[in-house]
Amino acid sequence: MRVTNNMMADNMLYDLNNNLTKMLKTEQQLSSGVKIQLPSDDPVGTARLLMLKKNSQSNDKYIKNAQDASSWLNYTDSALDNLTQDMARIKELTVDGATGTLASSDMKSIAEEIGQIRDDIYTLGNSTYTDRYIFGGFDTQTAPLTKITSTDGTGIDDINMQQPDIPSDYVPDEINYEIGDNTKISINTNAYQVFGPVTDADGNAITGDLFSDLKKLENALNTGDQKTVSDMIDTMDKHSDQILAVRADIGAKVNRLDLVTSRLQDNSLNITDLLSKTEDVDMAQAATNLSTQQSVYQASLQIGAKVLLPTLLDFIK
């Protein structure tokens, strides 16, 4: 086979070029840290990578939502904790006031303290969290409880909230957060659920709402109506139980969110791991490749130099 000098030179150049191309690719991978620069480098890997990224992003989104939901619920719970303490004090005072042995001035001081606690509960009911009334339902910009000066001669203000005509007709406003694909959790508590009348199994009211009951109690203490005060002990117990039930519900939701968050975070770790395996360059491997390619390149340069130089001219005198 006849071989010319140009053929040798062309071949050498072609192979050198190939070596350099491989080196360039490895060097790009090392300096950017990713295996796939263009989709055509690995179309199947690219498809997988894009899907993993999507999963990772939606997972992070759900974690954030779960944490925000938890915050709201915890804030609600601490408000209700204060409420529970208030209710405990009210029970003490009511029991005191129900003993027949108190003077009317003492009963009036108890009434006054009840009045103060009622105001405190009113403030609690209008708590805000990040500029929203937490007990307001969908109407987060309007205070759920309003105080109106009373005209019925008792001297005690009315505290009103939105109430349905029939307690069994009540549909609570549910603000939902998404914590998974098509999975939602409601995070709010409505004023009516906490302060509204306690109902029996059929949905009929067996007490008034908390504020009107407290007003009744205060009025009874003011006017010395010991019998009513005595009846109120049971009523206040029922209200306390209702509040506790709401708190239990919140507690259950918080627990659920803890589980969900923990699961999502585990998922997140797994996905990050998979992402890294698909997308990231194995630094050790790439560095080894680069060093191999460099030796090959140097060898080809050296041999090329030896092979290209001599022609017959060097030996003809």
Partner 1 sequence: MSLFYGLNIASSALFANQKALDVTSHNVANANTKGYTREEVIFKANAPSMGITTSSGYGTGQIGSGVSIEDIERVRNMFLDSQFRNESQQSGEWDIKNQILTAVQEIFNEPSDSGITTVLSDFFDSLQELSKNPQSNDVRSLVRQNAVSLTDTVNNLYNQLSDQKEQAVFNIKTDVTQINSLAKQIGNLDDQIYKFETTGNEANDLRDQRDSLVDQLSALANVKAYETSNGQYRIDIGGRALVNGNVSYDIEYADNGSDITKPSDVIKWQDDGSGVDIQGGEIQGLFDMVYGDNSGLKGIPYYMDQLDDFAYNFAKSFNEVHKQGYTLNSTEDHPIAGTDFFDMKTATDEDHKGYAKIFGISSIISDPVSGLNMIAASGTGEPGNNENALKLAALSTDTTVFEDDIQNVKYDGAAETVTITLRDNIDTSSLAGAKVKIDGADIDITADEIKNNTITLSVAGSPDEIAISGVKYTNGLVSDDDPESITLNAGSYQAPGKSGTFGDRINSIISGLGVDGQQADSMSSNQDNLVKQVNSLRAQTSGVSLDEEMTNLIKYQHSYQAAAKIISTIDNMLDTLLNIS
- Residues near partner 1 (CB under 8 A): 1-7, 10-11, 14, 34, 36, 38-44, 46-47, 49-51, 53-54, 57-58, 61, 64-65, 68, 130-132, 136-141, 173, 175-178, 181-182, 184, 279, 311-313, 316
Name the DSSP class of 34: B
Q: How far is the CB of 42 from partner 1 (least distance, A)?
A: 7
CA 216 from chain center: how many Å? 41
Nearer to partner 1 (CB atom), residue 3 or residue 284: 3
Give the chain's largest Cα–Cα span.
141
- Distance from C-alpha of 68 to C-alpha of 257, rounded to nearest angstrom: 10
Nearer to partner 1 (CB atom), residue 72 or residue 195: 72
Name the DSSP class of 128: E
Q: How far is the CB of 13 from partner 1 (least distance, A)?
A: 10
Q: Which residue has the tokens 């719970």?
A: 77
Q: How far is the CB of 175 from partner 1 (least distance, A)?
A: 6
Query: How crowded is the C-beta side of 74, counted as CA atoms within 13 Å?
Result: 10
Count Cβ atoms below 10 Å from residue 249 Cβ, excluding itself: 13
Relative to beta strand 183-186, strand 176-180 is antiparallel
Dihedral angle over CA of 52, 56, 57, 59, nearest 10: 130
Nearer to partner 1 (CB atom), residue 62 or residue 214: 62
Closest listed residue to residue 286, CA positions, set 37, 17, 14: 37
Nearer to partner 1 (CB atom), residue 61 or residue 227: 61
Nearer to partner 1 (CB atom), residue 47 or residue 269: 47
Q: How far is the CB of 306 from partner 1 (least distance, A)?
A: 16
Q: How far is the CB of 139 from partner 1 (least distance, A)?
A: 5
Q: How far is the CB of 14 from partner 1 (least distance, A)?
A: 6
Integer angstrom CA distances of residue 141 from 119, 124, 126, 137 = 21, 16, 11, 10
Residues in the chain, how many? 317
Nearer to partner 1 (CB atom), residue 46 or residue 154: 46
Nearer to partner 1 (CB atom), residue 179 or residue 220: 179
- Distance from C-alpha of 12 to C-alpha of 6, rounded to nearest angstrom: 10
Q: How far is the CB of 40 from partner 1 (least distance, A)?
A: 3
Q: Which residue has the tokens 């009107």?
A: 212
